[in-house]
Structure 1
Amino acid sequence: MPDPAPRPALLIGEAHGRETVPLRDLPAGITAVTLPRVVKDGDDTIQVRVPKDRKQRVKPRQVDLVADHPVSPYDPPPALTPRQLAKVLETRSTKRWSTIEADLGDNAWQTTVDLIRCGAVILRCDVVNVTGYSPRSWTLTHSWAELAEDKLAELKGRSRPEDLHRDLLQLMSGIPQLANEHTLLANTPPGRVLKVPAETATRAEDWRVYELAVRAASTWWPAQSQPRRITAKELAGRSLRDTKSTWTPARQQAFSNLIGVPFDQAVDKADTDLRIRGPLQWRVGTVIADTAACDPWLALPARGVQALGMISCNARGVFIVENEDTFEQICKIPEITDTWLCVWGKGYATNGLIELLRTLDWLPLVAWGDLDAHGIRIISNLADRVGRPVTPVAMTVDLYQAGVKYIQPPEKLAGNRELASQLAQEAVPALRDLAGEIARAGGEGCEQETLYDEVLPALPSLLEAVLLSAPGGTARNQARGTQHGSGASEA
């Protein structure tokens, strides 16, 4: 049997938002970075800042040692014993160096180095004499922390695998929507360990993730006859018997793949910050996420971006949309979704969206927002944070002048007029004329939803025009996307 294909590298490394610190005698494949400091900016969006002194020098007292190269979401060092691996995965928040030495024995340092290189842990160290370091504690990386509970369950196994196998078959019996999954599992008998069916709709690799997706779907489908939408906690309580059970990105995606519905549409009160539609496949932990599996979009919590590894991306560009209803309308236009990666991120960009856009750095960025002061600032804020140009579409003075203005109280109008006046000087250049017109109109705004008749029919050609005007035109963008998609492990 051929070896399985290697898992793709993570999109986002643990060094994101930090700065390298030069220390002597660091092991190969490892770099030292500053500790993250999270603050809120004026737009109430969270930023990761590098701590510096008053002279803008980086002189930290502590650093984190992390991998200096792309890593897989989960690929333990081969020399690690199951007992040692379990000890690593049992890290709750932090584990002190003295405890690590007790767990791993004489090989504690070398084993820790191997764990850092494979993307399992972040080792916090005290800086000694400016360029030296001394281990202090470790934490699991984002991707390993998300997968820890499920991987521990795999390591511990089940005392009677055949009983659990039979239990899942019984849960799915009588549910027409799960008939195919029932057949797949029935044709995959357990041995000493439980096996995930090869063609499972969950696209999961780990039994624990597969099991939870099946249990949740077996509860969710019968509940669709009720007028009230089941909540995420209720679903966990009824199917997993624990309302506090975490809906990790991998579990969410496996469940969504199985039922064919985005997680935030399947349940109420879902913690979802990103909705994405377009020609892209990736991994959420160890689960394959594919836009073809969920209609009309993929839904991810922003923290899920930390566990993503790209598989392929054939998009010609990224199209960011400010409003939820507008995003839904765009998802119904195949001319756009077949070639553009369409993203909705709830107004001002979340950290997860920024990290994703920084990773897709070869694709042009286009945005459509409300024709008001905040719509302009959202796009300007996005361009500043992502560090490259963002081209606005359907945000012209002519559309604004002819559009329906929404009602605002006097104090809001005054604030928006003042903001628009400021943005007429500071916004991205393509939106400064619009900002000036909004200021002259007293701060009035026009929302995207009132412009559907004028904009939606013309949107495919507007996006095409952006590509044609980009340096090198569409051919260059397509070539770069294909190359990046096939070489994802080098991302």
Structure 2
Amino acid sequence: MSEPEAGAPRFPLLIGETHGREPVPLPGLPAGVIAVTVPRVTRTVDDLPDVRVPRDRKGRVNTREVDLVAAAPVNGYAPPPGLSTRDLIKVLTTGDHKRWATIEGDFGDRAWDVAVALIQCGAVTLRCRVERAVHFAPRLWRLTEIWEDVHEDKLDELRGRPDALALHAELLEAMAQVPQLANERELLAATPPGRTLQVPASSTSGTGDWRVYEIAVRAACFWWPAHDSPQPITAKALAGNALRNTKSAWTASRRQAFANLIGRPFDRAVEETDTELRIRGPLQWRVGSVVADAAACRPWLGLPARGLRVLGMIDCDADGIVLVENEDAFQQVCKIPEIVDHWLCIWGAGYATDGLVEFLRTMTPLPVAAWQDLDAHGIRIIHNLTERIERHVTPVGMDVELYRAGPKYKQEPSKLEKNRELASELAMEGPLALRELAAEIAANGGEGCEHETLYAQVLPTLSAQLNEVLVQQPDR
């Protein structure tokens, strides 16, 4: 496989506030601010969120309401210069939203100027009514998801912490009981507090935010002694024991700092209800103050599906993206250096989440390949994904001969019939590259073959198949 070319594309903002929106031309907008449509969220037939641009019955974009957002990508939490601590606390205590009348009460004659500065730095979106496609009037503001993710930690920091020396000593004492944190403890001991507490420069946590660091350390001090217990550690139990509050949010920053500190993905360390995307390959990203490396994380980088919405800056040198349907197969692919050195490998637990779809849209023009089960639903996943990201997805390890030779898994008669019907439909309307396979599945009464049973046939040739995907790209 070829080495990444010099000047490989960079993706400066993964997902911002423009998801599911279109620009709306409005006169008189300040520099650095654009107006976009308010997204309409519905559910797909697979019960997945579908974010779309609102339109009227004639298909025209509905512009009776808009959001004012930052015109340029923003790199995480960066308050506007000149905003006082008192004002910043007012911003961060927004809650779900603040009405414009409340904002005017908080900031008086400065309300509009403060709002513009906050929009420009990616802190808030401002919902406005639009009249005659010309005049707009503010209604309310919301924190952007980037700021919402870190607002609790920043509020703690702004409101002041307990005695710095006492807190520093408390963390050192807690880590002294955990051998696995000995190196981290040495780093902290060598970083005495001044007027404020400082995260050690070489901290394994990867964060520069003290509150995020403190939470990660406390959680790790609880997790290490308890992780071998037969009783599972849930995300809420970890929060309750380490933070004394089961309702404390495991934000993307906190999750990743904790995962970095213990050296394993969050969803392997604790049990939780959220679905994680698992990523391995040449990609680095920054969420809040935390940096993570999908090439260095072992065995992968885990991220909650919703977490993709709050990522800041991303750097990717991958030649392409390969999606793997099942967890065990994903782990096998992650063991192949010639793949993970050049491809971004992703597991998303079956049908694509909204976050994964937007991730793939953002990573255009990287080619997308997929290795799914050889059954009706595996084909449907690729069909669904192709439509939602609006570009081609190349199947690998999914040809008819593999299906014919592979063992078929057991299914109830009623499910077999439904899968036969779905395969028949996909043989006519599914992805062209998979219609022959869909027809074969239909001819076999809906029987399917799980790709975990095909390792011996597929894994030795998977790198070559992905190379062929690159060769077929029109710009190569």
TM exceeding 0.5: yes
Give the structure 2 partner of residue 128 of structure 1. Answer: 131
Paired position in structure 2 for 1:384:
387
| 1:117-174 alpha-carbon deviations (Å, 9 max, x no partner) | 1110010111123321101110000010011000111111214111111111011003
* Structure 2 residue aligned with 1:443: 446
1:273 is displaced (CA, Å) by 2.5
For the pair 1:423 / 2:402, whether they are aligned, the reply is: no
C-alpha separation in 2, matches of 1:159 and 1:450: 57
Which letter maps to 1:296?
P
Are the counterparts in 2 of residues 216 and 240 from structure 1 also a CA contact under 8 Å?
yes
**Residue pairs, 1:1-20, within 5 angstroms:** 9-20=12-23
Q: Does 1:460 align with 2:463?
A: yes
Give how far 1:368 is off.
0.4
CA positional deviation for 1:255: 0.2
| Alignment TM-score, normalising by the size of structure 1 | 0.93
CA–CA distance in 2 between the matches of 1:417 and 1:92?
Answer: 49
2:8 alignment counterpart: none
Residue 259 of structure 1: aligned partner = 262
Which of the residues 409, 412, 432 maps onto 2:412? 409
Q: In 2, are the aligned partners of 1:403 and 1:450 still within 8 Å (CA)?
A: yes
- Structure 1 counterpart of 2:67, which letter? D
Cα separation, partners in 2 of 1:68 and 1:374, compared to 1, 3 Å: same
CA contact (8 A) 1:231 1:270 kept: no
Q: Is the 8 A contact 2:295 2:340 kept in 1?
A: no
CA distance in 2, matches of 1:472, 1:434: 28
| CA distance in structure 2 between the aligned counterparts of 1:308 and 1:225, rounded to whole angstroms | 32
State the Cα deviation string for residues 207-226 of structure 1 (Å, max 9, x = none).
Answer: 00000000000000111331
The answer on 1:250 being equivalent to 2:273 is no
State the shift of 1:9 in Å: 4.5
The alpha carbon displacement at 1:61 in A equals 2.5
Q: Distance in 2 between matches of 1:461 and 1:122?
A: 46
SS in 1 for 2:312: strand
Q: Does 1:281 align with 2:287?
A: no
Residue identity in the other structure for 1:216: A
Q: Which residue of 2 aligns with 1:480?
A: none
| CA–CA distance in structure 2, aligned partners of residues 378 and 220 of structure 1 | 37
Aligned to 1:162: 165
Question: Structure 2, unaligned stretches of length 5 or more?
Answer: 1-10
CA distance in 1, matches of 2:107, 2:50: 36
Please give the alpha-carbon distance, in whole angstroms, between the structure 1 residues aligned to 2:273 and 2:267: 5
Deviation of 1:294 after TM superposition, in Å, equals 2.9
Asked if the contact 2:13/2:314 (under 8 Å) is kept, the reply is: no
CA shift for structure 1 position 468: 2.1
Q: Deviations over 1:35-73 (max 9, x none)?
A: 111111112221002221110112333211111221121
**1:240 is matched with which residue?**
243
Aligned-pair CA distance for 1:102: 1.6
Instruction: Read off the aligned partner of 1:350 and give its amino acid letter.
Output: T
Alpha-carbon deviation of 1:321?
A: 0.5
Distance in 1, matches of 2:306 and 2:260, equals 19
Structure 1 window deviating more from structure 2 (54-63 vs 166-175): it is 54-63
Residue 312 in structure 1 maps to residue 315 in structure 2: yes
Separation in 1 of the partners of 2:291 and 2:426?
42
Query: 1:292, CA displacement in angstroms?
Result: 4.8
After TM superposition, the score normalised by the length of structure 2 is 0.95
Q: CA deviation at 1:272?
A: 3.2
Counterpart position of 1:482: none
Aligned equivalent of 2:6: none
RMSD value, Cα: 1.3
Which of the residues 80, 85, 88 maps onto 1:82?
Answer: 85
1:431-481 Cα shifts (integer Å, max 9, x gaps): 1111111111111111111111111111111112222222243xxxxxxxx
Matched, 1:145 2:159: no
Mapped to 1, the partners of 2:466 and 2:131 lie a distance apart of: 54
The answer as to whether partners of 2:146 and 2:312 remain within 8 angstroms in 1 is no
Hey, what's the Cα distance between the residues in 2 that align with 1:382 and 1:69?
A: 28
Deviation, structure 1 residue 109: 0.3
Residue 72 of structure 2 corresponds to 69
What is the Cα deviation at residue 361 of structure 1?
Answer: 0.7
Q: CA deviation at 1:417?
A: 1.2
> What residue identity is the alignment partner of 1:62?
E
Report the counterpart of residue 358 of structure 1 in structure 2.
361
Q: Is the 8 A contact 2:283 2:295 kept in 1?
A: no
CA distance in 1, matches of 2:162, 2:330: 48
Matching of residues 80-229 of structure 1 within 5 Å: 80-229=83-232
Show the counterpart of 1:51. 54
Q: Could you tell which deviates more after superposition, 89-98 or 464-473?
A: 464-473
* Structure 1: gaps spanning 5 or more residues: 1-7, 474-491
Q: 1:302 aligns with which of 290, 301, 305?
A: 305
Letter of the 1:137 partner, please give it.
Answer: L
Contact 2:40 2:52 in 1 (8 A): yes
Equivalenced residues, count: 466
Which 4+ stretches in 1 moved above 3 angstroms? Answer: none
Q: Output the CA distance in 2 between the equivalents of 1:469 and 1:127.
A: 47
One of 329, 333, 337 as aligned partner of 2:332: 329
- CA–CA separation in structure 1 for the residues paired with 2:390 and 2:239: 40
Contact 2:77 2:147 in 1 (8 A): yes
SS state at 1:122 partner: strand
Amino acid at match of 1:29: G
Q: Which residue of 2 aligns with 1:21?
A: 24
Q: Separation in 1 of the partners of 2:162 and 2:216?
A: 21
Structure 1 residues 365 and 9, CA, compared in 2 at 3 Å: closer, same or farther?
closer
SS at match of 1:153: helix
Could you tell which deviates more after superposition, 252-261 or 325-334? 325-334
**Structure 2 CA distance, aligned partners of 1:279 and 1:298?**
11
Give the counterpart letter for 1:170 in structure 2: E
Partners of 2:442 and 2:401 in 1: CA distance: 15
**CA distance in 2: counterparts of 1:318 and 1:189, whole angstroms:** 44
Q: Does 1:36 align with 2:44?
A: no
Per-residue Cα deviation, 1:16-42 (whole angstroms, up to 9, x for no partner)? 111222222111221111211111111
3-state DSSP of counterpart to 2:299: coil
Structure 1 residue aligned with 2:397, among 394, 413, 421?
Answer: 394
Distance 2:112 2:427 in 1: 56
Q: CA deviation at 1:312?
A: 2.3
Q: Is the 8 A contact 1:9 1:73 kept in 2?
A: no
Structure 1's 35 and 472: CA in aligned 2 closer, same or farther, altered over 3 A?
closer
Report the Cα distance in structure 2 between the residues aligned to 1:467 and 1:293, rounded to whole angstroms: 24
Q: Percent identity?
A: 62
Contact 2:197 2:210 in 1 (8 A): yes
Tell me what 1:345 maps to. Answer: 348
For 1:361, what is the secondary structure of its paired residue? Answer: coil
